[in-house]
């Protein structure tokens, strides 16, 4: 097995996932994963550029950074690439007015977006908001459009909190895709455009970067397809059978 020095040769930037890598969410804000605060501090003291790349869609970027700082991490809002701000930029560029099926904690990110007479749907990890009524309303909006557009903030299957595994946005995205006969546009990992944006903010090329995450599909697979190196941690949603199945 190659030494870590060889594996990291040429790497000048590190993209860090947040949930399941730095902390597990949950009651009272959650808990930092053992050693993660110190690991981030060591990375920031090194020659490497560091950026946080997350699919978090239950919290605004400001609230997420506030939580991380409360847990002891050295992180600023400008260091975080998150899907909600990226989605807002796309909506403005394309003149789209979304029906929002999102968590109340992230709704403030869309305060400057026109949501009247919607001509698309944005779905995120709405948590308890994924009721039949709310899913059916999103379905109805899409079916009434001549050219339905569905944006999904990430497409993860599940994630880990301190209380256990939790369904993510992916299964609900798939339900709307199936019901409407459409394919969602994913804003977040593993979208190539999302990785491109994070790398541009960090100022490094794909072949100079490594992605560290707990999701073999969204983090590791997405990064590798974009030309980066990737490392899967054994925390968060990591499961041995994923590796054995090649997922």
The predicted structure's pLDDT at residue 246: 44
The predicted structure's pLDDT at residue 9: 82
Residue 5 in domain: no
Model pLDDT for residues 132-154, shown as the tens digit of each residue? 999 999 999 999 999 999 999 99
The predicted structure's pLDDT at residue 2: 56
Per-residue pLDDT tens digits of the chain, which is 247 residues long: 455 567 678 999 999 999 999 999 998 999 999 999 999 999 999 999 999 999 999 999 999 999 999 999 999 999 999 999 999 999 999 999 999 999 999 999 999 999 999 999 999 999 999 999 999 999 999 999 999 999 999 999 999 999 999 999 999 999 999 999 999 999 999 999 999 999 999 999 999 999 999 999 999 999 999 999 999 999 999 875 444 444 4
Burial 86-111 (b: 16+ CB within 10 A, else e): bbbeebeeeebebbbbbbebbeebbe
| Euclidean distance between CA atoms 162 and 155, whole angstroms | 21
Residue 66 in domain: no
User: Terminus-to-terminus CA distance in the chain, angstroms?
Assistant: 22
- Among residues 56, 159, 155, the alpha carbon closest in space to that of 105 is found at 56
The predicted structure's pLDDT at residue 244: 42
Residue 193 in domain: no
> How many domains are there within the chain?
1
Model pLDDT for residues 72-105, shown as the tens digit of each residue? 999 999 999 999 999 999 999 999 999 999 999 9
Residue 27 in domain: no
Sheet (strand 13-16) strand order: 80-81, 49-53, 13-16, 209-213, 229-232
CA 211 and chain centroid, separation: 13
| Euclidean distance between CA atoms 245 and 208, whole angstroms | 29
pTM: 0.90
Residue 89 in domain: yes
Residue 152 in domain: yes
Tokens 């992180």 sit at which residue?
75
Q: What is the CATH number of the domain that holds 161?
A: 3.40.50.1000
The predicted structure's pLDDT at residue 1: 45
The predicted structure's pLDDT at residue 182: 98
- List beta partners, residue 50: 14
Which structural domain range is residue 138 located in? Answer: 83-187
């Amino acid at each position: 097995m190659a030494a870590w020095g060889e594996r990291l040769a040429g790497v000048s930037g590190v993209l860090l996932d947040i949930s399941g890598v730095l902390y597990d969410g949950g009651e009272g804000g959650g808990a930092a994963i053992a050693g993660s605060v110190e690991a981030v501090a060591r990375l920031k003291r090194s020659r490497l550029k560091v950026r946080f790349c997350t699919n978090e869609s239950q919290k605004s970027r400001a609230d997420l950074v506030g939580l991380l700082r409360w847990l002891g991490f050295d992180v600023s809002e400008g260091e975080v690439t998150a899907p909600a701000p990226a989605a807002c930029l796309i909506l403005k560029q394309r003149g789209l007015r979304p029906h929002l099926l999102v968590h109340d904690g992230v709704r403030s990110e869309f305060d400057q977006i026109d949501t009247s007479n919607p001509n698309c749907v944005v779905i995120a990890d709405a948590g308890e908001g994924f009721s039949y009524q709310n899913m059916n309303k999103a379905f109805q909006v899409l079916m009434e459009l001549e050219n339905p557009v569905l944006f999904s903030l990430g497409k993860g299957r599940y994630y880990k909190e301190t209380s256990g595994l939790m369904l993510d946005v992916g299964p609900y995205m798939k339900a709307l895709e199936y019901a409407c006969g459409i394919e969602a546009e994913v804003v977040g990992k593993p979208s190539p455009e999302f990785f491109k944006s994070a790398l541009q903010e960090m100022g490094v090329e794909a072949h100079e970067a490594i992605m560290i995450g707990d999701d073999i599909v969204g983090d590791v697979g997405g990064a590798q397809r974009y030309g980066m190196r990737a490392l899967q941690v054994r925390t968060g949603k990591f499961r041995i059978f994923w590796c054995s199945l090649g997922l």
